Amino acid sequence: MGGERVRRGRGRGAPARAVTYAVCGVVLLAGCASMPDSGDLRGVESTPRKDAQVRVYAVPPSDDATPTQIVQGFLEALTSDDADYETARQYLTPEASKYWRPEQSTTVLSEGPGARADREIREDSTALTYTLTGTKFATVDAQQAYAPSSGLYNEVVRLVKDEKSGQWRIDAVPQGVVMGTSDFQRNYTSFNKYYFASNVDVDGSSLPMAVADPVYVRRHVDPTTRMVRSLISGPTSWLDPVVRSSFPTGIRLREGTGPLTPDDRGTLTVPLDDRAGDVGTGRCEEMAAQLLFTLRDLSPAVEEVELRADGGQLCSLTQDGAETVATRGALNQPDYLYFLDEQHKLVRIAAGSSSPDADPDPAPGALGQGEQGLRSVAVARDERTAAGVGLNGQALFVSALAQGSSLGEPVLRSQGKAEQDRLTTPSWDAQGGLWVADRDPARPGLYLLAKGAGQPLRVRTPGLDGRIQAVRVAADGVRIALVVEKGDERSLLIGRIERSGPDEAGSAGHPTVTVVELRSATPELEQVTAMSWAGDSRLVVVGREHGGVEQMKYVEVDGSTPDVPPPAALTGVKALTAAADETAPLVAYSVDGIVRLPSGAQWQKVTQGTAPVYPG
């Protein structure tokens, strides 16, 4: 006979779970699945998990629980809202509990973990092993950073029977926790914590640029305090080389600090240890700005942050005050939406215009006068300069958005023989640098022109496997999104932009710019056809899964899917653009021309034209 088998899966039962609904009082619901001595475990249907008010609490092991019930109960307890997994630890021996570190990682499986006893259970058994199995979907590491994953999950848990009590307990367990995707989506939620770009000077601004660093925290287990601790501990490893924190290295919350909650006036007091005592006012306000940006979406009630140390106040800052201390992409509202008219000239309409069939105005300057027909454009973030690629894709032009400006010679030319093998749509960074890729198969490359002029700098792209088909730089200036073609697939990759000066580079006085640690943001899509940044850490993508149909969706830079409704369906999308300001409508070029998607509405036709872009 085969060993006893347990399965924790999506839509499976909850034999060791109590669920609390915080609606009109408290109701406890506990379900018990049948626990056979052999064969498959069949559970009751899970409680619906979409309601944000649902709280799940684990049930401790019952007296004389079978080994199967111990394994099942432990796996269920991992998905509960116990703050420190107190109930899950009751399924372990004291020694196993001492060495188990649930915060080390979270392994997410496509379905809940299955488990099978490695041999038949007999009455005289005193030790057993179960193998946990599944298909990996993602991982969340000790820094709370999410990453897509794949391959088989195969881990062993060992159970022993206590000689005195006769109770079964787990005495060897894998580090971290494991659960299926449905439990992960109910248990965890993604929030951005914010740091400052260390290698970016925002063009025309003296304020530091805030950079979003997405992490996953447990939804119902004091997320405010956990996010504050995570922010203070520093950025995730992937982002760390290009950002800085104003919090001193090694600083912590004051010992004994309990849950952090704002008072009735919306003020959150954050007590720091004595290492913060020497922080000056300017640096303290940057620390407060980091906190306010971080807590904005997580705790809307936080209107002000007060930092304290050594028994006194260091500084306080309001939400409005944070915007005078630092900037971030979502704070920059575009003035205009730009696109090309039927004569291939650059035109624009007010970004907030809601009128159908809007009448566009020619953009001021040479690109709006039709001196050169264009097939794609990009407008600098300050909306003072624009760049355009000529109709045949061979030449890149730059011109000021001002009356009387001249076009001049191309700043870059491609030698690609076919139009599809020439220049991509360009993109502007926060420093006023212009990025574009040359798709020439003979000499493909990514180029950067400082201030949109001068000698093009070839950007290093170590580890890039494929040819760049599209480029978009994030508003923060330290991340770049690339659509990369390899064979029959087109993938969306996110890279980190690292810059070094002439002295650091040692390259004959020339600075170097490198895009490193490229990672996939859409591992499930095999054909990405259009994309745009749509917030501080989010992109909107048009693509197709293997054997599937075209779809439009939001994705996070870490490869996860945000818990927001996807855009309304739209057919025949050829290009799309979104502003860093998330309140601006999504705009696309489709078979119906230029269309827009206001919040909570359906797609609306705006006007005829092609290649729509917001600044950036």
Question: Could you read off the pLDDT of 184-217 as tens digits, one per residue?
Answer: 999 999 999 999 999 777 776 789 999 999 999 9
Do 220 and 238 sit in the same domain of this protein?
yes
Lowest mean pLDDT, pick from 25-34, 72-81, 228-237, 290-299: 25-34
Note whether residue 176 is domain-resident. no
Pick the residue with more confidence: 233 or 46?
233
Pick the residue with more confidence: 24 or 182?
182
Question: Are 227 and 191 within 8 A, CB to CB?
Answer: yes
Do 115 and 217 sit in the same domain of this protein?
no
Do 311 and 392 sit in the same domain of this protein?
no
Do 583 and 570 sit in the same domain of this protein?
yes
Note whether residue 404 is domain-resident. yes
Cα separations (Å) of 263 from 149, 269, 270, 301, 411? 41, 8, 12, 9, 56
Do 312 and 347 sit in the same domain of this protein?
no
CATH of the domain at 375: 2.120.10.30
Joined together, the tokens standing for residue 1 give: 């006979």
Do 154 and 286 sit in the same domain of this protein?
no
pLDDT of residue 378 exceeding 50: yes
Instruction: Indicate the pLDDT class of residue 55, thresholds 50, 70 and 90.
Output: confident
Joined together, the tokens standing for residue 414 give: 């491609």
Q: Three-class SS string for 170-217?
A: EEECCCCEEEEHHHHHHHEEEEEEEEEECCCCCCCCCCCEEEEEEEEE
Do 294 and 386 sit in the same domain of this protein?
no
Reference 537, options 146, 140, 213; nearest CA is 213
Report pLDDT for 53: 55
Do 297 and 346 sit in the same domain of this protein?
no
pTM equals 0.89
Do 498 and 595 sit in the same domain of this protein?
yes
pLDDT of residue 546 exceeding 60: yes
Biggest alpha carbon distance in the chain?
Answer: 94
Q: Mean pLDDT in the chain?
A: 88
Do 338 and 320 sit in the same domain of this protein?
no
Do 84 and 210 sit in the same domain of this protein?
no
Select from 108, 136, 160 the last residue of a domain: 160
Cα separations (Å) of 250 from 229, 233, 245, 284, 369? 12, 7, 11, 16, 57
Question: Are 68 and 34 within 8 A, CB to CB?
Answer: no
Select from 327, 348, 380 the last residue of a domain: 327
What is the rounded end-to-end Cα distance, in angstroms, of the chain? 65
Amino acid at 545: E
Instruction: Indicate the pLDDT class of residue 6, thresholds 50, 70 and 90.
Output: low
Report pLDDT for 12: 34
Do 555 and 530 sit in the same domain of this protein?
yes
Backbone angles phi, psi at 593, to 5 degrees: 95, -145
Residue 159 exposure: Cα atoms within 13 Å on the Cβ side: 28
Note whether residue 177 is domain-resident. no
Model confidence pLDDT, tens digit, residues 473-519: 999 999 999 999 999 999 999 999 999 876 554 445 678 999 999 99
| Number of structural domains in the chain | 3
Domain range for 368 is 330-613
